[in-house]
Amino acid sequence: GSLILWSSLGCPNVRVGFDVGSGDRPQIPECNLRSTVGLPALAFMGIVSAFATLAWSGGVAAPRAAIAVPVKHMVGRTLGNRNTAAAGATVAPAMCGNLSPTGTAVLVQAVELTLWQVKQLRQWASVRNTSFHLWLAVDVAASSSAAQHAAVKMAPELKSGSVRVVTVNSSQFLGRYPGFAGLHASVTFGRAVGKPPGFMFHSLVVDEWRRLACADGQRYQFTWHLEPDVGFSGASIGALVAAYARSSTADLVCKGCLGASNWQHREVATSAFKAAVPLKHRYYTLEFAARYSDRLLAVMRRWIETGNISQSEMMGCTVARNAGPNVTVDTLDSKHIGNPFKTSKHNCIKKPHQWTAAQARDAKGIGRLYHPVKM
């Protein structure tokens, strides 16, 4: 709306397009607005543009298609072109409707589970805690029998309702979202080759879990997403949930959002994502453990359903950093981060005595997060 207004006030050379979304306005090099309409008109246009943008977008949203003029800074507004489904793509399922978000979920996502990981889940479930609901999302797109029968391993906790298990078939995402099949086929990263889509694209699994939880009448204000090989040295993950419930209302709590300009997976994204988000506005994090608000997950849903998808370590941070000033990011407190907490098959906890030592070191606090724990 604002671009059309500018053009009608003496800028006929502006090529009207959709901007990508947050903070400063795009710069229009083809015309001098100051000399054309004067400062009073500029002030009026700014007010009209602000109200038009808020009315259109609701304040927080996905990127629009690329604009034909330079963008000084990314801004989060609603997709200008809402009808972006690619030919042959299936329609994304409806989400949460009028359910009000409340409470916290802890979601462990797994392709397969080791016996130690099942033991840790059982420990968390055994500690009576009303501050969160514990969920396990099993990606059954893999052929692993451990993944197929993870729910059976959790049978005692399932009977008591203390662990809620859902199955997700991430192979269904290939035909559901525009451009995603091509992206997944292009992945050449060693550990991801031959793995189901959920392996590198956790955000799609979280999005599907959110849909399933809402269908079950559960919509959470905050969701902790944990990889299965994350260990927490405290008695229960509930202590960590409670600590951040007291200290942070941020939409994303993670290890920290870093610029992705030199990151190895910076181009692992759909064409739509790369066109909408310039490299200098892409961010990533070590996503082994992170907390998302329902508001942020709703914004990510709009990106996903329109094919703006990236490798999940880049997805959450990029969406949060480009979704406008109302979406906030906090960093996990260093006192809650153990060593190791990185991606490494060499620097990891493999032996029971290593884990026992970590628990002893952390006994004076609520516990620390470790990754990877490969016992």
pLDDT digits (tens, 9 = 90+) for 246-289: 999 999 999 999 999 999 999 999 999 999 999 999 999 999 99
pLDDT value, residue 282: 98
Residue 72 · residue 27 · CB < 8 Å: yes
Q: Which residues of the chain have pLDDT under 50?
A: 1-42, 45, 48-61, 64-92, 145, 147
The pTM of this model reads: 0.76
* Strand runs labelled E in the chain: 104-110, 133-139, 163-168, 222-226, 231-232, 252-254, 258-259, 283-284, 289-293, 329-331, 337-341, 369-371
Residues contacting 77, CB < 8 A, separation 6+: 19, 21, 22, 53, 56, 57, 61, 64, 324
d(C-alpha 312, C-alpha 308), whole Å: 12
pLDDT value, residue 100: 94
pLDDT value, residue 161: 67
What type of residue sits at position 87?
A
